[in-house]
Amino acid sequence: MSVRNADKALILDFGGVVTRTLFETHDVTERALGLKPGTLTWRGPFDASTDPLWVSMQNREITERDYWTIRTREVGALVGEDWTDMKTFVQRARGAEAELVLRPEARDAIIRTKTAGSKLAILSNELDLFYGVEFRKRFPLIDQFDVIVDATYTKILKPDPRAYERVLDELGLDRANCVFVDDQKKNIEGAVAVDLPHVHFDVTRPAQSYAQALEQLGL
């Protein structure tokens, strides 16, 4: 028996999956902060050889939050300021133009999913912690999401199984009919642990990753 589209859901991480990464927008950041072009050289997954700190995070020697806390302080120091939270970095680097960071491929997938009548959810470790409440409210298509589970408030970080169970409970759907998408391997491992279908998002090939997720949903 086929599953109705209304009984399916696409569950997305936010940073890196719905939004372009800060690695991809160094030029935007440099212009916004008045920095010389080429000042920011760390490229994370786009060129790990430029970013030993990223390698440390991938090796789980530091957490993702540790990584961005360090980068936040570094960039703040470049403009002579003491930045203590990621929200400051994001808001200063990207200003009020929330549209600027939405992945075109994410826009297409969100519209396609909703047009098909399926549900959308965000499962994030730091949506409001990093981006801020006002940024989220201005973010394009945020109103298309049926469920937002943000560890800023729940305090349950992926890959804790409870994070995935929480979003599934709020969606009210069978996990077999959902697909979770995240760019961090450890968070994919969390999905595996709770038998949640998934796609390990490749930020260097976003169109391919979204195509795979939509194919798995049968959309």
CATH number for position 146: 3.40.50.1000
3-state secondary structure of 34: coil
| Whether residue 77 sits in one domain with residue 179 | no
Q: Where a domain ends, among 53, 82, 98? A: 98
| Whether residue 117 sits in one domain with residue 35 | no
DSSP state letter for 120: E
| Exposed/middle/buried for residue 79 (C-beta within 10 Å: 0-12, 13-18, 19+) | exposed
Q: Which amino acid is at 50?
A: T
| Whether residue 111 sits in one domain with residue 90 | no
| Whether residue 122 sits in one domain with residue 86 | no
User: Per-residue pLDDT for 6 more than 80?
Assistant: yes
> In percent, how much of the chain has pLDDT > 90?
79
Q: Where a domain ends, among 98, 118, 139? A: 98
Rounded Cα–Cα distance for residues 103 and 80 (Å): 31
Q: Where a domain ends, among 98, 121, 142? A: 98
| Whether residue 112 sits in one domain with residue 85 | no
List the domain range (segments joined by +) for residue 109.
5-19+102-217
Rounded Cα–Cα distance for residues 89 and 70 (Å): 11
The model's pTM is 0.88
Q: How many domains does the chain have?
A: 2
What is the number of other CB atoms lying within 10 angstroms of the CB of residue 143?
7
Greater pLDDT, 91 or 198: 198
Per the prediction, the chain carries an average pLDDT of 93
pLDDT digits (tens, 9 = 90+) for 89-124: 988 887 656 777 899 999 999 999 999 999 999 999
Rounded Cα–Cα distance for residues 6 and 114 (Å): 9
> In percent, how much of the chain has pLDDT > 70?
98
Rounded Cα–Cα distance for residues 168 and 121 (Å): 9
What is the number of other CB atoms lying within 10 angstroms of the CB of residue 124?
27
Q: Which amino acid is at 192?
A: V
pLDDT digits (tens, 9 = 90+) for 49-93: 999 999 999 898 998 889 999 999 999 999 999 999 888 898 888
User: Per-residue pLDDT for 185 more than 70?
Assistant: yes
| Whether residue 114 sits in one domain with residue 79 | no
Rounded Cα–Cα distance for residues 54 and 31 (Å): 24
| Whether residue 155 sits in one domain with residue 47 | no
Rounded Cα–Cα distance for residues 70 and 3 (Å): 45
Lowest mean pLDDT, pick from 70-84, 133-147, 162-176: 133-147
DSSP state letter for 3: P
For 29-44, b/e burial (b = at least 16 CB within 10 A) is bbebbebeeeebebbb
